Structure 1
Amino acid sequence: MSTVSLTTAKAHLNVTETTDDTLIQGKIDAAEAHIEKLLGFTLASGFEGSENVPDDVREAILQLTGHFYENREASLVGIAAEEIPFGVWQLIAAHREYVF
């Protein structure tokens, strides 16, 4: 079960049609998997259930879902891209589990 619902992601993306529902769900799943790798634990186990995931981590998932949905290729042509302040990494860094 996803931490972020399809309905929430579609609202974040401002998508009202159902045409891309499967695609958006895949982007949510990919974003959550990526966040879990960055954090070093699964969302459900690290926060004792997906309903306990903090809002800043949910926001990071939504930002990454939006990025994956809007930028479906591995490169941007003719656009200068840079990381935004308070982006994904800044939102999840405080929750990261460091293991040595």
Structure 2
Amino acid sequence: MAIIDLVAAKAHMNILFEDDNQLISDKIEAAQAHLESLLGFQIEEEFETVPADLKQAALALVAHFYENREATGVNLFEVPLSVWDVVRERRSYAFE
């Protein structure tokens, strides 16, 4: 289960139509997977209640992935800078 839902993602991006619901749902899944790979742990296994900053980072990634579907254009950032701030504070540096 994702840490954010379609309703929250669409509200964050101010999207009122339903045409892109599946696309946005796919971006939610991709954003959480990417965030978890940066963090080094599964968010829902680590926290009983998901912290607000991780939800905000996921929303920022969803919006970034939705708005920048191709690797061209003006915004060539891998992820929004605010996401790196959250990841830096919460990343697991444990090595197995």
| TM-score calculated relative to the size of structure 2 | 0.89
**Structure 2: runs of 5+ lacking an equivalent:** none
| Residues 10/46 of structure 1: CA separation in 2 closer, same or farther (3 Å cut) | same
In the other structure, the counterpart of 1:56 is: 53
Q: How far 1:38 sits from its partner (Å)?
A: 0.6
| Residues 10/80 of structure 1: CA separation in 2 closer, same or farther (3 Å cut) | closer
Q: Does the aligned pair in 2 maintain the 1:39–1:95 contact within 8 Å?
A: yes
Structure-2 separation of matches of 1:66 and 1:27: 8
Q: Does the aligned pair in 2 maintain the 1:35–1:61 contact within 8 Å?
A: yes
In the other structure, the counterpart of 2:34 is: 34
Q: Does the aligned pair in 2 maintain the 1:56–1:92 contact within 8 Å?
A: no
Q: How far 1:70 sits from its partner (Å)?
A: 0.4
Structure-2 separation of matches of 1:56 and 1:2: 15
| Residues 80/39 of structure 1: CA separation in 2 closer, same or farther (3 Å cut) | closer
In the other structure, the counterpart of 1:44 is: 44
**Structure 1: runs of 5+ lacking an equivalent:** none
Q: Does the aligned pair in 1 maintain the 2:4–2:58 contact within 8 Å?
A: yes
Q: Does the aligned pair in 1 maintain the 2:6–2:24 contact within 8 Å?
A: yes
| Residues 25/84 of structure 1: CA separation in 2 closer, same or farther (3 Å cut) | closer
| Residues 17/42 of structure 1: CA separation in 2 closer, same or farther (3 Å cut) | same
Structure-2 separation of matches of 1:80 and 1:9: 20
Alignment of 1:1-100 (within 5 A): 1-48=1-48, 52-76=49-73, 79=74, 81=76, 87-100=82-95
